[in-house]
Amino acid sequence: MGALKIVTANVNGINNLIKRKKIMQILKKIGDIIFIQETHLCKEEHEKLGKLIGAQIFATSYTSAKRGVTVLLNNSLGFVKDKCIRDREGRYVFVQGEIDAQAVTLINVYNPPGEDVAFMKRILHLLMSETRSHVHLSTSTFPLRILSYSSRFGFSSFIMSVFVIYDTAYTV
């Protein structure tokens, strides 16, 4: 597995079709793996995201006006899924599988304001009990590099972090 370009974005809702297309065009150009928080989409709309950019999608929803996270993987990666755990409240999606015969674990977490300690304990338990490989964790709470596209592209702002993971990714 060579270098992976991983992008994480908190989009603060992408129900508007124009905003959705613009954001997805940006993300597709710069990332192999895309983590999105706060999609505010239902299950059917999440599936359309994958088709829009030609990617495998793993998503979870809560209501159309709240939460929602996705993990999108470029089809060229040849990702083979072993396991997917989705939160019923739209706060995290946990995906295990292989890229180039190398085991990977992808976790996208949205920690809504006001969540209790029990939620973070659940995430840590999931990490400790389920991971067996390189871990790629995305959370809107700890962005590494923040880019804002609000004024440049004329739609509501979203937060995006971009980072590149090499073969020496974090291992648990």
Query: Would you list which residues are annotated within the binding site for Mg(2+)?
Result: 10, 38
Which residues are annotated as part of the binding site? 10, 38
Residue 28 CB neighbour total at 10 angstroms: 17
Closest CA to 137 of 80, 93, 103, 84: 93
Phi, psi for residue 26 in degrees, rounded to 5: -65, -50
Kindly tell me the burial class for residue 9, based on how many C-beta atoms sit within 10 Å of its own C-beta (0-12, 13-18, 19 or more): buried
* Lateral strand order in the sheet of 102-109: 80-86, 92-99, 102-109, 134-139
